[in-house]
């Protein structure tokens, strides 16, 4: 009990660096993660993204990205960087469409399993503020929280781990998870153009004089990379739920939708128990929630909706399926474009998450 009489200060930057491999990192094996070191290409612009004594955010972001890639690759993940050095064809702040190009690397990534697109796209940044004392981590997602469920599943442990590992003075001053629409009506371009789960990390503030000096140090950059690695290990450990491509039929004026849910977890002890939270199961047709039932034995969700030909005169509709496992990890994909044929059968195609400024079924 006497140990509790003397509590160490939270802000302890002198403690030794310790970067053991987390045994659960094995759940990252096979995951495809695209890292985007923010900025690059404007080293000659005076004062551009620099700390009080001139440390460049672009260089810090790049060092963290290289260190994080190594940690993730050691765990068996497939990792790509949008830039390996100061600039690439995509990642160069002098390009007017650099954010779209950075995101496109994640969107079009050729997966080892034959698919297309990364499991996660993470843009790595450091923050700045007019108040020099500001120094806390934040993780930014696109748009409404409802649009970013799978991204938030990973963003939350990453944000918490950054606070616990970097021990900056401002941890807890505000929330960790921020919508990019708090900054701009259309959000951050690099997230708006992402068609895979994506978030942007502002690990700490290079505008804080003490933090700026720490960010010069590769060992401190590794502390940060390790924090993000630990967050991603925890994310992977909690699984990535998904489902079979929904079957949609139209008969007697009723749409019937069925899909088999997958909680995304391995066959651990207890796998025969409920691992999908019933309260999280939701099916939407053209943005309207419809009645759905779930059979835990077969893991099939069935939803019925009256066919509203006035709402879908072109016989196309947008279907959304949501569910989460007991780790509160959400499914991916969540949206499908449905085209109904004259005979009542349907073509069902996965879509990306929703984005600012898009129409009902656009992407």
| Pairing outcome for strands 78-81 and 32-37 | parallel
And the tokens for 98? 């650099």
Under the binding rule (CB under 5 A), the answer on residue 51 touching Zn ion is no
Candidates 35-43, 84-92, 148-156, 269-277 — which segment interacts with Zn ion by CB under 5 A? 35-43
Pick the closer one to Zn ion by CB: 181 or 331. 181
**Strands laid side by side in the 120-127 sheet:** 78-81, 32-37, 120-127, 198-205, 138-141, 177-179
* Residue nearest Zn ion (C-beta atom): 125
Pick the closer one to Zn ion by CB: 93 or 304. 93
**Shortest Cβ distance from residue 98 to Zn ion (Å)?**
12
Pick the closer one to Zn ion by CB: 38 or 137. 38
Position among 56, 78, 125, 193 found at the interface with Zn ion (CB under 5 A) = 125
Between CA 56 and CA 206 the distance in angstroms is 8
Pick the closer one to Zn ion by CB: 178 or 292. 178
**Shortest Cβ distance from residue 17 to Zn ion (Å)?**
24
Between CA 156 and CA 305 the distance in angstroms is 35
Cα-based distances in Å from 344 to 254, 321, 347, 363? 10, 20, 10, 25
Interface of this chain with Zn ion, residues 230 to 249, rule: CB under 5 A: none
Under the binding rule (CB under 5 A), the answer on residue 99 touching Zn ion is no
Q: Which of 56, 59, 204, 225 is nearest to 132 (CA)?
A: 204
Under the binding rule (CB under 5 A), the answer on residue 38 touching Zn ion is yes
- With CB under 5 A, what is the number of residues at the site for Zn ion? 2
Cα R_g (the chain), whole angstroms: 22
Pick the closer one to Zn ion by CB: 123 or 242. 123
**Shortest Cβ distance from residue 55 to Zn ion (Å)?**
13
Candidates 1-9, 32-40, 148-156, 206-214 — which segment interacts with Zn ion by CB under 5 A? 32-40
Between CA 197 and CA 313 the distance in angstroms is 31
Pick the closer one to Zn ion by CB: 38 or 187. 38
Are 191 and 198 in contact by the 8 Å Cβ rule? The answer is yes
Candidates 7-15, 97-105, 125-133, 183-191 — which segment interacts with Zn ion by CB under 5 A? 125-133
DSSP letter, residue 28: G
Between CA 324 and CA 240 the distance in angstroms is 9
The length of the chain, given as a count of residues: 363
Note the residues at the interface with Zn ion (CB under 5 A): 38, 125
């Amino acid at each position: 009990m006497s140990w509790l009489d003397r509590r160490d200060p939270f802000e302890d930057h002198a403690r030794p660096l310790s970067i053991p491999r987390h045994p659960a990192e094995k759940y990252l094996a096979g995951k495809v993660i695209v890292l985007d070191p923010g900025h690059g290409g404007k080293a000659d612009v005076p004062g551009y993204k620099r700390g009080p004594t001139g440390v460049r955010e672009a260089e810090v972001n790049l060092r963290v990205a290289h260190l994080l890639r190594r940690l993730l690759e050691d765990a068996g993940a497939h990792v790509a960087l949008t830039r390996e050095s100061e600039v690439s064809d995509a990642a160069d702040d002098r390009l007017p469409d650099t954010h779209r190009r950075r995101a496109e690397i994640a969107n079009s990534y050729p997966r080892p399993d034959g698919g297309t697109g990364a499991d996660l796209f993470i843009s790595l940044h450091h923050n700045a503020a007019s108040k020099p004392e500001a120094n806390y981590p934040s993780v930014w997602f696109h748009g409404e929280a409802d649009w970013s469920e799978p991204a938030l599943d990973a963003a939350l442990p990453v944000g918490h781990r950054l606070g616990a590992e970097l021990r900056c003075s401002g941890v807890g001053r505000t929330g960790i998870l921020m919508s990019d629409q708090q900054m701009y009506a259309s959000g951050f371009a690099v997230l708006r153009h992402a068609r895979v789960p994506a978030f942007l990390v502002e690990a700490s503030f290079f505008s804080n004089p003490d933090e700026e000096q720490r960010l010069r140090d590769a060992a401190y950059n590794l502390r940060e990379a390790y924090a993000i690695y630990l967050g991603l290990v925890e994310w992977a450990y909690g699984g990535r739920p998904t489902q079979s491509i929904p079957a949609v039929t139209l008969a007697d004026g009723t749409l019937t939708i069925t899909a088999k849910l997958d909680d995304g977890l391995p066959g651990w002890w207890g796998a025969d128990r409920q691992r999908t939270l019933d309260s999280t199961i939701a099916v939407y047709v053209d943005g309207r929630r419809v009645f759905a039932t779930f059979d835990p034995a077969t893991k099939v969700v069935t939803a019925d909706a009256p066919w509203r030909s006035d709402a879908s005169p072109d016989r196309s509709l947008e279907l959304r399926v949501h569910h989460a496992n007991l780790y509160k990890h959400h499914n991916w994909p969540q949206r499908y474009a449905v085209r109904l044929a004259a005979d009542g059968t349907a073509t069902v195609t996965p879509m990306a998450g929703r984005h600012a400024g898009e129409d009902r079924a656009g992407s």
